[in-house]
Amino acid sequence: MILTVDVGNTRIKAAVFEENTALGNFVFEKNEFEKEIEKILKKFPDCSDLVIASVGNIEKQSFLAFENKLNIHFLTHEDVFPFINKYATPKTLGIDRMVLAAGATLQFPKQNRLVIDAGTCITYDFIDENDHYLGGAISPGLRLRYESLHNFTARLPLLTLEAPEHYIGDSTKQAIHSGVVNGFVYEIDGFIDEYRANFSNFIIILTGGDTDFLAKRLKNTIFANSNFLLESLNQTFQYKIDND
């Protein structure tokens, strides 16, 4: 069994896999890391490998505390991936984006793929049908948009995510919800339309913490999977084993 761990900017997600079957999924705060990993290992004592993709700020030593129980693997830019990286600054490409690109390449062969990860930031990653990673875009996620409106103005309140009642906001609260949510959706649909206009044989993969909220609001047909990064992490590790 393989325990995959995604250390994000706000939370940690984890999953246990038996080959390509997920046996359990977990989400917890960073300050609960060691306690939650211990609980997972008690539930799945046959885990042999811990595979980590990290963009967050947890110390590497925290993972090494488990090296007497598991083989520990930190995915890095030096590992083998199933695509050719055409990014102009390849060493600056986040390992989470590389894992998502790998998963898209392995799960959807011989297609143009756009992976949209809606979390703290929203990232767009494009891998063409020849398995060339070409790049994408990065913009603020939903939570960052709410926080920015509050933090960089004098009077706007800090709101949490809520579906707007109407696209015409009839109060400051509803105007913020309309601007943040509808603006976010229009951005995603606009990017998808641009890619569709330039590439055929195309699939869009939506993932990240806001997947379920967004999926039903987009006009474009997408493949929505909030656990796509963890699945991709497992598949990338299997690919690494087979190709090292």
Q: Which residues are catalytic?
A: 96
d(CA 54, CA 59): 10
For the chain, the farthest-separated pair of C-alpha atoms sits apart, in whole angstroms, at 59
- What does the CA dihedral 27, 29, 31, 32 come to, rounded to 10 degrees? -30
d(CA 132, CA 84): 5
Nearest Cα to 30, choosing from 56, 60, 66?
56
For strand 223-224 and strand 202-207, is the pairing parallel, antiparallel, or unpaired?
parallel
Neighbouring residues of 205: CB distance < 8 A, sequence distance ≥ 6: 100, 104, 108, 113, 114, 115, 116, 222, 223, 224, 225, 228
Tokens of 53: 């993709």
Residue 102 and residue 192 in contact, taking contact as beta carbons nearer than 8 Å: no
169 alpha carbon, distance to own chain's centre:
30
d(CA 148, CA 183): 14
Nearest Cα to 30, choosing from 2, 8, 53, 49?
8
